[in-house]
Amino acid sequence: MAATILDGKSLAKQSESDFAQRVQTLKANSGGNTPILATILVGDDPASATYVRMKQNACQRVGMESVAIELPVNTTTEELLAKIHQLNDNPDCHGILLQHPVPEQIEERLCFDSIELRKDVDGVTCHGFGRMAMAEPAYGSATPQGIMRLLAAYSIPLEGKHAVIVGRSPILGKPMAMMLLNKNATVTICHSRTLDLDRLVRQADIVVGAVGKPEFIKGEWIKSGAVVIDAGYHPGGVGDVELSAIHDRASAYTPVPGGVGPMTINTLIMQTLEAAEASQ
Cβ–Cβ < 8 Å for 11, 149: yes
Cβ–Cβ < 8 Å for 52, 70: no
Element (H, E) at 70: strand 65-71
* Rounded to 5°, angle at Cα 219 from 213 and 223: 125
Identity (one letter) of the amino acid at 230?
Answer: D
78-124 pLDDT, tens digit per residue, is 999 999 999 999 999 999 999 999 999 999 999 999 999 999 999 99
Identity (one letter) of the amino acid at 235?
Answer: P
Share of the chain above pLDDT 90, in %: 97
At residue 90, the pLDDT reads 97
Question: What top-level class would CATH report for the domain 142-260?
Answer: alpha beta
Catalytic residue (choose from 99, 161, 174, 205)? 99
d(Cα 95, Cα 98) in Å, to the nearest integer? 10
Catalytic residue (choose from 120, 122, 230, 240)? 122
Give this prediction's pTM.
0.96
Q: Do domains 31-116 and 142-260 have the same CATH topology?
A: yes
Identity (one letter) of the amino acid at 97?
Answer: L
132-173 pLDDT, tens digit per residue, is 999 999 999 999 999 999 999 999 999 999 999 999 999 999
At residue 198, the pLDDT reads 98
Kindly list the domain boundaries of the chain, sorted by start residue: 31-116, 142-260
In this prediction, residues 197-214 reach a mean pLDDT of 98
At residue 280, the pLDDT reads 86
Q: What single-letter DSSP state applies at residue 119?
A: G
CATH 3.30.565.10 for domain 31-116, yes or no, is no
> Does the structure show a pLDDT above 70 at 1?
no
d(Cα 26, Cα 76) in Å, to the nearest integer? 37
223-234 pLDDT, tens digit per residue, is 999 999 999 999
Average pLDDT, the chain: 97
* Rounded to 5°, angle at Cα 221 from 220 and 224: 80
List C-alpha distances in Å: 279 to 90, 92, 98, 115, 124: 12, 10, 21, 16, 20
Is 55 in the active site?
yes
Is 248 in the active site?
no
Share of the chain above pLDDT 70, in %: 100
Neighbours of 105 (CB within 10 A): 11
> Does the structure show a pLDDT above 70 at 246?
yes
39-85 pLDDT, tens digit per residue, is 999 999 999 999 999 999 999 999 999 999 999 999 999 999 999 99
d(Cα 232, Cα 150) in Å, to the nearest integer? 16
Catalytic residue (choose from 7, 55, 174, 240)? 55
d(Cα 154, Cα 133) in Å, to the nearest integer? 24
d(Cα 100, Cα 107) in Å, to the nearest integer? 12
Is 99 in the active site?
yes
